[in-house]
């Protein structure tokens, strides 16, 4: 068994040393039957042709990037924002109790992280992610309504036209 291990070790050493080229290896046996391998011929040696072994280049692991690349969000520019109802110069009658629904249209649609604000006389009175706002118990008089889209930093991205709505409410006499 030791003889076989020694033989295999000798063969692997020779093969690894000569793996780049095909070469001759010479094998001889001594009087006890031990095998000796050499690259030089000797008396009574047998020549063996050793062919090149298939090899594969060493794997080089790619280096991890120093810092992960930050992907910038695509910049979406809104093309239009408008109030479609109520129409400009609409009067809300006394029986409506100062209630109305403001409907708008935004193109393209609202992007993540953006908010739609409803302004009344240049003051934000409501905000959300849709262009529909329900107003109730509005005071009588003139109201200038406008929609606005803002980003996370509250920067205005687009504004609608301003419409004027008149609310009629019954007044209580003293």
pTM to 2 decimal places: 0.56
Tokens 């695509």 locate to 74
User: For 34-84, how does the pLDDT look when each residue is reduced to its tens digit (9 = 90+)?
Assistant: 878 788 888 888 887 777 666 777 777 788 777 666 666 667 789 999 999
Of the candidates 91, 99, 103, 90, the residue with the CA atom closest to the CA atom of residue 139: 99
Check pLDDT > 70 for residue 32.
yes
User: For 7-31, how does the pLDDT look when each residue is reduced to its tens digit (9 = 90+)?
Assistant: 655 666 655 554 455 677 787 888 8
The structural domains of the chain, ordered by start, are 2-50 (no CATH), 80-167 (2.60.40.10)
DSSP string, 81-141: EEEEESPTTEEE-GGGTT-EEEEEEEESPPPTT-EEEEEETTEEEEEESSSEEEE-SPPSE
Check pLDDT > 80 for residue 142.
yes
pLDDT, position 117: 96
Contacts of 100 (CB under 8 A, 6+ apart): 86, 92, 135, 138, 165
Contacts of 72 (CB under 8 A, 6+ apart): none
Sign (positive or negative) of CA dihedral 37, 39, 40, 45: positive
pLDDT, position 132: 95
Contacts of 141 (CB under 8 A, 6+ apart): 166, 167
The percent of residues above 90 in pLDDT, for the chain, comes to: 44
Residue 156: band (very low, low, confident or very high) from pLDDT cuts 50, 70, 90: very high
Name the residue with higher pLDDT: 86 or 6: 86
Tell me the C-alpha distance between 114 and 117, whole Å.
10
The percent of residues above 70 in pLDDT, for the chain, comes to: 77
pLDDT, position 152: 92
Tell me the C-alpha distance between 117 and 83, whole Å.
12
Contacts of 128 (CB under 8 A, 6+ apart): 115, 116
Mean pLDDT of the chain: 82
Tell me the C-alpha distance between 81 and 145, whole Å.
13
pLDDT, position 105: 95
* Residue 107 burial (10 A CB sphere; 0-12, 13-18, 19+): exposed
């Amino acid at each position: 068994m030791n003889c076989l291990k020694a033989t295999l070790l000798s063969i692997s050493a020779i093969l690894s040393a000569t793996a780049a080229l095909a070469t001759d290896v010479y094998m001889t046996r001594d009087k006890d039957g031990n095998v000796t391998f050499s690259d030089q011929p000797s008396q009574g040696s047998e020549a063996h042709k050793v062919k090149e072994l298939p090899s594969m280049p060493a794997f080089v692991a790619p280096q991890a990037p120093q810092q992960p690349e930050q992907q910038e969000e695509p910049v979406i520019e809104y093309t239009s924002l408008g109030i479609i109802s109520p129409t400009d110069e609409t009067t809300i009658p006394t029986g409506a109790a100062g209630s109305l629904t403001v409907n708008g249209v935004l193109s393209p649609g609202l992007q993540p992280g953006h908010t739609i604000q409803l302004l009344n006389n240049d003051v934000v009175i409501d905000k959300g992610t849709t262009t529909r706002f329900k107003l109730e118990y509005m005071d009588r008089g003139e109201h200038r309504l406008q929609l606005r889209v803002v980003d996370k930093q509250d920067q205005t991205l687009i504004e609608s036209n301003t419409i004027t709505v008149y609310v009629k409410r019954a007044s209580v006499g003293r």
